Amino acid sequence: MFNGKGVVIKYLALTTISLIIFVGCAKRGAPPGGPEDKSPPQILSTIPADGDTLVPLDTKIKVSFDEPIKSNENSVMIYPPIENSFVRFRKNYFELQHKTPLKKNTTYSLILTPIFSDRHGNRIGKTIEIAFSTGNKMDTSRVGGYVLDGETFSTADGVVVAAYSDSAMSSPPLKITFSAEDGSFIIRNLPDGKIWLFAGIGAGNELNWRKAEKIAISDGAISLPTKEKKFLVLAANDSTPPKIISTSAPDSFTIRIKLSERTIIDSVCATLGKNIWLDPADSTSILARQKDIVQGKSFTLKICDFAYNCTTKTITVPEDAGNDTLPPKPLFRKKETILPFETPKLVFSEPFHSKIFAEIDGKIIEIDTNRTAPNTMEILFPSDLSAGEKVLVILDSLCDDFGNCTSDTISFTKSKEKFGDILVSGISKCQNPLIFLRTMNGKNIRLGGEKNKFSATVPGGKYTLWQICDENGDGRWTAGKFSTGNFKYSEAMKFFEDTVYIRPGWETEVRW
Whole-angstrom Cα distance, residue 338 to residue 381? 8
Q: What is the assigned CATH class of domain 419-511?
A: mainly beta
Closest CA to 197 of 226, 159, 162: 162
Whole-angstrom Cα distance, residue 174 to residue 169? 10
Whole-angstrom Cα distance, residue 306 to residue 510? 32
Cβ-Cβ contacts under 8 Å for 388 (sequence gap 6 or more) = 413, 414, 416
Q: What is the full per-residue pLDDT of the chain (512 aa) written as tens digits?
A: 323 333 232 333 333 333 333 334 443 444 555 677 789 999 999 999 999 999 999 999 999 999 999 999 889 999 999 998 999 999 999 999 999 999 999 999 999 999 999 999 999 999 999 999 999 999 999 999 999 998 888 899 999 999 999 888 888 899 999 999 899 999 999 999 999 999 999 988 788 888 889 999 999 999 999 999 999 999 988 888 999 999 999 999 999 999 999 999 888 988 999 899 999 889 999 999 999 999 999 999 999 998 888 999 999 999 988 888 899 988 865 558 888 888 888 999 999 999 999 999 999 998 999 999 999 999 999 888 888 999 999 999 999 999 999 999 999 999 988 999 999 998 877 888 999 999 988 889 999 988 789 999 999 999 999 999 998 888 889 888 876 556 788 999 999 989 999 999 999 999 98
Closest CA to 87 of 65, 63, 107: 63
Whole-angstrom Cα distance, residue 470 to residue 475? 7
- Cβ–Cβ under 8 Å, residues 432 and 405: no
**pTM, entire model:** 0.77
- The CB-side HSE value for 291 (13 A sphere, CA atoms) comes to 3
Burial of 339 (0-12, 13-18, 19+ CB in 10 A): middle
Q: Which residues pair with 377 in a beta bridge?
A: 346, 371
What is the gyration radius of the CA atoms in the chain, in angstroms?
31
Whole-angstrom Cα distance, residue 506 to residue 471? 33
CATH domain 336-414 topology: Immunoglobulin-like (2.60.40)
- Cβ–Cβ under 8 Å, residues 197 and 143: yes
* CATH architecture of the domain with range 43-133: Sandwich (2.60)
How far, CA to CA in Å, does 112 sit from each of 79, 147, 176, 202, 495? Answer: 11, 20, 11, 19, 30
* CATH architecture of the domain with range 141-236: Sandwich (2.60)
pLDDT in tens, 343-384: 888 999 999 999 999 999 999 998 999 999 999 999 999 888
CA pseudo-torsion sign 330, 334, 335, 336: negative
Fold agreement between 141-236 and 336-414:
yes
How far, CA to CA in Å, does 196 sit from each of 85, 214, 218, 231? Answer: 26, 17, 7, 13
Quickly count: other Cβ atoms within 10 Å of residue 428's Cβ.
7
Cβ-Cβ contacts under 8 Å for 430 (sequence gap 6 or more) = 467, 469, 492
Q: Which residues pair with 65 in a beta bridge?
A: 43
Whole-angstrom Cα distance, residue 467 to residue 446? 9
Extents of the domains making up the chain: 43-133, 141-236, 244-316, 336-414, 419-511
330 DSSP 8-state letter: B
CA pseudo-torsion sign 9, 11, 15, 21: positive
